[in-house]
Amino acid sequence: MKIDELIINELIKSRANNRADLDFLKRKVAKKYKIPMPSNIRLLKLYHELLKEKRVKKSKKIENLLKTRPVRSLSGIVNVSVLTKPYPCPGRCLYCPLEAGIPKSYLSGEPAVERAKKMNYNPFSQVKTRIESLDNQGHPTDKIELRIIGGTWSFYPKNYQTYFIKRCFDACNREEGKTLKEVQKRNERAKHKIVGLSVETRPDFITKTEIKRMRKLGITRVELGVQSTYDDVLKLNIRGHGVQETILATKLLKDTGFKICYQMMLNLLGSNLKKDKKMFEELFRKPDFRPDLLKIYPCALLKEAPLYRFWKRGKYRPYTKKRLINLIKEVKKKIPYYVRIQRIARDIPSPRIIAGGSKLLNVRQVIARKIKSEGWRCRCIRCREIREDYNPKEKLKLFRQDYRASGGREIFLSFENKNRSKLYSLLRLRVSSQCNEERPRYIIPVLEGAAIIREVHTYGQLVPVAERKKLAPQHQGLGKKLIREAEKIIKKEWGLNKITVIAAVGTRDYFRKLGYRLKDEYMIKSLS
């Protein structure tokens, strides 16, 4: 009898009722037979084989135990978050906590922080352990979206940045390389491909030099700490930059193909419900902003942040739970189809928050329930993603939305069902502001006279590279169709004969198959 089979039989006999019991049993058997811990997906597969051969009886208990949070791989990727080491930040933001031994703006007790602390912020161990844990939970780990968090990325020393990212690649490649370039090349064909890489930074740190550097590091998405679109609020909270810096950073990043996530803060000192609501209207009304992704963080009142003193003196009042929920609901009503709300509220443990509605745990779920009971839908990408509802017979429609953004033109293409409640696949295409200028100055030479694909992604269950699943939309050719459509638009409507893609390292091969080649860290194709 195979060892895995032994575990299944032990599991059936045992009184294991939860994950801890299951892990204990797996560890015990692994130790006894000196083998690595088998993953849940492997055990689940074997269980189904045994069931078919009638060698075990159907057990709901086992099925539930082996199935883990499926949502983790239902957006077409798995997310791996890694924290940089504690390091000073040039900012002095009033609401931002400072805790010894923790990167600025983070707090002990946050799940990602605790994981990183245990590994002494070592990037290799963090990525390796996270992948192993996702593997054990039964998730395919072929396509990794790597998210680097902690403090202000652009303020960390350059050699630390290179070391950090190189070690993340090493962990995904499962072998050590000599240089960053070498490990990136290796990752193109690795088991765990990095298909997206994001960092968080301040708008005033986005310069042309920084952008070039970010591309060399393989970064494809930037989370900008925008927080507010009011100069007076930014000043009052000692942000150290104004709205103009956000506008400039947004333009530079979009023109070089990056996806942009705005981190916005509600309930800042100097703001109020009316102002906050108007801020989100402006975010999508003004072409200077229009981010692709959003994180909405209600300001959390923390003892470790200077804002606490203002509250003590009665100069600051957090919104109540009811007001906060209503405000976020109003914000959600304004979200356009091309935006994805990544997060609402941080993972800060509730007891650390002194007062106010942001103490509420699971705020996202509470709001989702309210919206459902009121009979309307949030239009954001996250709420429309197909997840496990894939129906191969469903008739899909190609939608197109053109909008002005940061001096250029954005074309958002998507495959969705007729009423746009289920989104299968999307593509963000940009004709940068420079394509219209008489004497444009391109930051990156390869982008000269070219349109740029900033994102192409198919949602639903993550399907490993080179596999095809009947019940998932990935690898059914939807992305390819969108790319062809983008190429057609660029050639026919814009008369451009060059198209580029800000492709993450792990997606380069995919684009090669479509006739693209690598140049200056971008994938490029001539349309002439």
CA separation for the pair 96, 101 (Å, rounded) = 15
CA separation for the pair 78, 71 (Å, rounded) = 9
Segment contacting ligand SF4 by CB under 6 A, of 54-62, 87-95, 291-299, 398-406: 87-95
Closest chain position to ligand SF4 (CB): 91
Instruction: Find residue 234's DSSP bridge partners.
Output: none
Question: ∠ CA 328-246-200 to the nearest 5 degrees?
Answer: 75
Q: CB under 8 Å to 370, separation ≥6 — which residues?
A: 325, 329
Nearest CA-CA partner of 299 in 230, 332, 348: 348
Binding mask 222-261 for ligand SF4 (x = CB under 6 A): ---x------------------------------------
Q: Which of 383, 443, 514, 527 binds Zn ion (CB under 5 A)?
A: 383
Tokens of 243: 């709205």
Instruction: Find residue 64's DSSP bridge partners.
Output: none
Q: Which of 168, 380, 386, 523 binds Zn ion (CB under 5 A)?
A: 380
Q: How far is the CB of 516 from Zn ion (least distance, A)?
A: 32
Coil vs helix vs strand at 472:
coil
Nearest CA-CA partner of 166 in 200, 129, 123: 123
The kind and range of the H/E element at 277 are helix 273-285
422 binds ligand SF4 (CB under 6 A): no
Answer with the entry of Zn ion, ligand SF4, none that 202 interacts with (C-beta below 5 to 8 A by kind).
ligand SF4
Q: How far is the CB of 240 from ligand SF4 (least distance, A)?
A: 7
Answer with the entry of ligand SF4, Zn ion, none that 460 interacts with (C-beta below 5 to 8 A by kind).
none
Q: What is the DSSP letter of 400?
A: E
Interacting residues with ligand SF4 between 305 and 334 (CB under 6 A): none
341 binds Zn ion (CB under 5 A): yes
Answer with the entry of Zn ion, ligand SF4, none that 93 interacts with (C-beta below 5 to 8 A by kind).
ligand SF4
Tokens of 143: 């396509």
CA separation for the pair 375, 412 (Å, rounded) = 27
Answer with the entry of ligand SF4, Zn ion, none that 198 interacts with (C-beta below 5 to 8 A by kind).
none
Smaller CB separation from ligand SF4, 109 or 287? 109
CB-count exposure of residue 42 (10 Å: 0-12, 13-18, 19+): middle
202 binds ligand SF4 (CB under 6 A): yes
Amino acid letter at 267? Answer: N
Smaller CB separation from ligand SF4, 104 or 498? 104
Binding mask 62-81 for Zn ion (x = CB under 5 A): --------------------
Under rule CB under 6 A, how many of the chain's residues touch ligand SF4? 10
Answer with the entry of ligand SF4, Zn ion, none that 341 interacts with (C-beta below 5 to 8 A by kind).
Zn ion
Q: How far is the CB of 50 from Zn ion (least distance, A)?
A: 41
CA separation for the pair 517, 446 (Å, rounded) = 12
CA separation for the pair 170, 150 (Å, rounded) = 20
Q: How far is the CB of 153 from ligand SF4 (least distance, A)?
A: 10
Q: How far is the CB of 96 from ligand SF4 (least distance, A)?
A: 3
Q: How far is the CB of 264 from ligand SF4 (least distance, A)?
A: 12
378 binds Zn ion (CB under 5 A): yes
Smaller CB separation from ligand SF4, 22 or 93? 93
Question: ∠ CA 194-199-203 to the nearest 5 degrees?
Answer: 145
Q: How far is the CB of 151 from ligand SF4 (least distance, A)?
A: 5
Q: How far is the CB of 76 from Zn ion (least distance, A)?
A: 17
Answer with the entry of ligand SF4, Zn ion, none that 383 interacts with (C-beta below 5 to 8 A by kind).
Zn ion
The CA–CA distances, whole Å, from 105 to 29, 97, 114, 201 equal 42, 5, 14, 12
Q: How far is the CB of 368 from Zn ion (least distance, A)?
A: 8
Answer with the entry of ligand SF4, Zn ion, none that 68 interacts with (C-beta below 5 to 8 A by kind).
none
Q: Is the dihedral of CA 266, 268, 274, 280 positive or negative?
A: negative
Tokens of 196: 């997206």
Tokens of 504: 């993450």
Instruction: Find residue 398's DSSP bridge partners.
Output: 415
168 binds ligand SF4 (CB under 6 A): no
Segment contacting ligand SF4 by CB under 6 A, of 47-55, 85-93, 348-356, 503-511: 85-93
Q: Which of 11, 44, 96, 450 binds ligand SF4 (CB under 6 A)?
A: 96
The CA–CA distances, whole Å, from 244 to 87, 230, 247, 464 equal 27, 10, 5, 42
CA separation for the pair 107, 311 (Å, rounded) = 20
Tokens of 109: 């007790």
CA separation for the pair 452, 484 (Å, rounded) = 13
Segment contacting ligand SF4 by CB under 6 A, of 32-40, 91-99, 183-191, 394-402: 91-99
Interacting residues with ligand SF4 between 103 and 122 (CB under 6 A): 104-105
Q: Which of 89, 283, 302, 478 binds ligand SF4 (CB under 6 A)?
A: 89
Interacting residues with ligand SF4 (CB under 6 A): 89, 91, 93, 96, 104-105, 151-152, 202, 225
Interacting residues with Zn ion (CB under 5 A): 341, 378, 380, 382-383
